[in-house]
Amino acid sequence: MTKRIICCVLALALLLAVPALAAGSNGLRTSEAGISFIKEHEGFSATAYEDSVGWAIGYGTHCDVSAYPNGITEAEADALLRQHLRETESYIDSAMAGIGVTLSQNQYDALASLTYNIGVGWLHSGYRLYNMLAAGIQYYTEEYIVNTFARYSNTQGQNTVEALVQRRFEEALIFVYGDYGTGGTPLYEFEYRELEDGDYELYHRVWGQYSPGLYSDVPYTQWYYRYVSPLSAAGIFDGYEDGSFRPESCVTAGEALKLILLAVGCQEQERVGAHWASGYLDYAVRNGLVESADFSELDGPVSRLAIAGLAARALCLEPDPGQYFADTADPWVGALYKAGVMEGSYSGDQLVYKPADNMTRAEMCAVIWRIYNL
């Protein structure tokens, strides 16, 4: 009974703590990295202000500002932003369903930021980006997609606004590369060019060159880039002071405990011993989420099997003894695999999980990103 109550509390905490991640018609909502991006570009205003569209407050939210005669706090502005994003997302979901398009998380985040900023007017056949999505975005070059985003940088038909051009460019980097500010992606230079067909472009790709990367060892061509970049942008999983992320290094038991517990909606835990992560271990043991022996060395590595047990219990998943992997039938691994949180790799023609291997920081990023986006 105790564990059932704990699971219900954790499940409720997940819904309350991560409202940006509930499923839309595309199975997606704006991620925490996407929301952080919107906040950064909108900026925060505690008092109402008038822009080219009307009156706004907080993080650029257009609403009845008379409801905030004494201004708005950052917490209230965050809630208001998320509330209005629901409406934005409903338009995106409807439009994409109408043309049979399934978006990836980074594509969804880019379109959410674009739509929150310029409105829903572009979501019909009179606009180039919509037509490209309808025809199949995969048929267009990366450079063409970047320049299409850059076109949506006018205010009420007036001249291009430099700040909006930059925002559109950064949204395009999220859309095309999953680059939430991590960099290391193909380099583009701003230069207005008129084309022979009467069209124009604002950016051109500098072939063979790349933008400065936040981490020296996370190239955008690696599979883990799309997990490291948004988690880093959202302040969830950081690198080291020397500019590295060390993706192939082992995640420590302490890091794993904190990352997973926060991802499922638990609160920050105060230390109860000498180690900074002692509070997280204490919480996990008290609530039956781990065997203390698996996480006793908080600065040491932790196995993929132990991580699976912690994550599955924290998510309140039902054990699944299905034989999904050739090397384990562990029910917690099965539960996470079925939920789409854990993946394996192929050894010849067999799918294996490698339960005894220690989990790397790159693998941990993938797990945490999937938990946040369940």
Dump pLDDT digits (tens) for 230-271.
Answer: 999 999 999 999 999 999 999 999 999 999 999 999 999 999
Host domain of residue 175: 19-227
How far from chain centre, in Å, is Cα 76? 22
pLDDT in tens, 11-65: 434 333 333 333 444 589 999 999 999 999 999 999 999 988 889 999 999 988 8
SS3 content of the chain, % helix, strand, coil (to 5): 45, 15, 40
- The number of distinct structural domains making up the chain is 2
Is the pLDDT reported for residue 188 higher than 80?
yes
pLDDT at 200: 83
The Cβ of residue 181 has, within 10 Å, a number of other Cβ atoms equal to 16
pLDDT at 374: 81
Final residue before a domain boundary, out of 227, 258, 284: 227
CA gap 78, 86 in Å, rounded? 13
Query: Has residue 139 been placed in a domain?
Result: yes
Which range has the worst mean pLDDT, 67-71, 197-201, 221-225, 357-361?
197-201
What are the φ and ψ backbone dihedral angles of 119, each rounded to 5 degrees?
95, 180
pLDDT at 52: 80
CATH number at residue 44: 1.10.530.40
pLDDT in tens, 112-144: 999 999 999 999 998 999 999 999 999 999 999
pLDDT at 13: 40
Query: Has residue 296 been placed in a domain?
Result: yes
- Does residue 82 sit in the same domain as residue 167? yes
CA gap 344, 159 in Å, rounded? 51
Is the pLDDT reported for residue 311 higher than 50?
yes
Query: Has residue 237 been placed in a domain?
Result: no
CB 317 within 8 A of CB 337: no
- Does residue 270 sit in the same domain as residue 348? yes
CA gap 120, 271 in Å, rounded? 47
- Mean pLDDT for the chain overall: 89
- Does residue 206 sit in the same domain as residue 110? yes
CB 175 within 8 A of CB 200: no
